[in-house]
Amino acid sequence: MASTLCVFSGPLSSITALTQRLKTVKTKRKELQIDPMNNFLMKPKIDFAFKEIMNDEKARTGFLAAVLHLDPADIKSTRILNPYLRQAHADDKLGILDVRILMNDDTEIDTEIQLSELKVWSDRSLFYAAKMYTDQIKPGQKYNVFKKCVSISILDFVLFEGENEFYSCFHILEDTRHFKYTDKMEFHVIELPKLPPALQENSSRVELWAKFINAEETEEFNMIAEKDPYIKSAYDQLQRISQDEQKRLEYEAREKAILDYNQGIYEAEQRGEKRGEQRGEKRGEQRGIRGTARNLLALGIDIHVIAEATNLSIAEIEALSNEI
């Protein structure tokens, strides 16, 4: 039985080129198998990501229990009231992506994350809490319809200068005896920059949640999730939404909108400061010229000479002379 031996008889350069092409194809196949989304995790402090995390009922229950100092078992049910982005006013370009939650006892909770510094945050949160409260009543209803309203602010800036604690809770209290005027309204504020640098064995539940919201690296998430089953559920939800291509696009669009908005505010402030400096410099120059003119008048220098030296009018110099 005859056998056939096939020999490639082309030039050596052709063999080398073919080998290189095969290597390139293999490399590309390997590259195609790598999914860059596998290592991607959204930042929970971007409001879009936080709201998506709060869609998980267990995570939502754990977060509220931690901030409100409740036993999770006492929270029978929660429901998100505002699934969509809302605008504060007609010209609002960024919109508000807060999380409005109704609890089983009809307590209404509004949670909002603010990344850039806003000095009027206290007034803003009070306004929206008051609106949340007054929106409960309809024409003709009695005042006993009002239920408790809670505002939770998660801030990536320092609101209370001189205070070291990252978490603060406020009620309406009598000034000296400190009893409550009403329990229908309360404010919780979490200042992320004030968080302690490292987790402790006795870290509170609210601290663990604040650390989770502020985390960015996988190691941080894993370490915090190990300490609390509700945060573990939040982390699982974060991983799910981070691998969802559509949600990732929405997240990136929201992150860009926030960055663009903050950049616009910064540039407007810079323009305002520059105009202020220019006006200040001009006023300073005018004061200096007038001071020089007064000194020359005191020395008995002729007003025409002073006018030529300072570019002030004769009338202006005569007015300065009357002031001396």
Chain segment 180-231, per-residue pLDDT in tens: 999 999 999 999 999 998 888 889 999 999 999 999 999 999 999 999 999 9
Q: Distance (Å, rounded) from C-alpha 105 to C-alpha 12?
A: 82
pLDDT of residue 21: 53
Reported as a pLDDT band with limits 50, 70 and 90, residue 28 is very low
> Among residues 187, 196, 67, 45, which one has the least CA distance to residue 124?
187
What digits encode the pLDDT tens for the residues 231-242? 999 999 999 999
Which residue type sits at 288?
A: G
Least confident among 184-193, 234-243, 270-279, 280-289: 270-279
pLDDT of residue 323: 77
What digits encode the pLDDT tens for the residues 82-124? 766 555 544 444 556 789 999 999 999 999 999 888 889 999 9
Sheet (strand 108-114) strand order: 78-80, 99-103, 108-114, 149-155, 180-191, 167-173
pLDDT of residue 199: 87
Residue 286's Cβ-count burial label (10 Å; 0-12, 13-18, 19+) is exposed
Least confident among 99-113, 141-155, 239-253, 310-324: 310-324
**Contact predicate 45/113, CB 8 Å:** yes
Q: Distance (Å, rounded) from C-alpha 180 to C-alpha 94?
A: 36
In the chain, what percentage of residues exceed pLDDT 70? 77
**Is 90 exceeded by the pLDDT of residue 243?**
yes
Q: Distance (Å, rounded) from C-alpha 161 to C-alpha 153?
A: 16
Reported as a pLDDT band with limits 50, 70 and 90, residue 160 is very high
In the chain, what percentage of residues exceed pLDDT 90? 56
Least confident among 40-49, 52-61, 295-304: 295-304
| DSSP 8-state class, residue 192 | G
Structure token digits, residue 95: 């919109």
Reported as a pLDDT band with limits 50, 70 and 90, residue 4 is very low
Structure token digits, residue 324: 């001396």
Residue 256: C-alpha distances to residues 85, 171, 323 (Å): 15, 36, 59
Does the predicted TM-score (pTM) go above 0.95? no
User: Which span out of 7-21, 32-46, 179-193 was modeled with the highest average pLDDT?
Assistant: 179-193
Instruction: Round the average pLDDT of the chain to a whole number and report it.
Output: 83
Beta bridge partners of 152: 111, 188
Residue 32's Cβ-count burial label (10 Å; 0-12, 13-18, 19+) is exposed
> Among residues 127, 51, 36, which one has the least CA distance to residue 84?
51
Q: What is the pairing mode between strands 108-114 and 99-103?
A: antiparallel
Q: Distance (Å, rounded) from C-alpha 301 to C-alpha 294?
A: 10
More reliable by pLDDT, 48 or 267: 48
Q: From the centroid of its chain, how far is CA 77?
A: 28
More reliable by pLDDT, 278 or 87: 278
Ramachandran sector of residue 41 (left: φ over 0; alpha: ψ -120 to 50; beta: rest): beta
> Among residues 33, 39, 32, which one has the least CA distance to residue 243?
39
Ramachandran sector of residue 288 (left: φ over 0; alpha: ψ -120 to 50; beta: rest): alpha
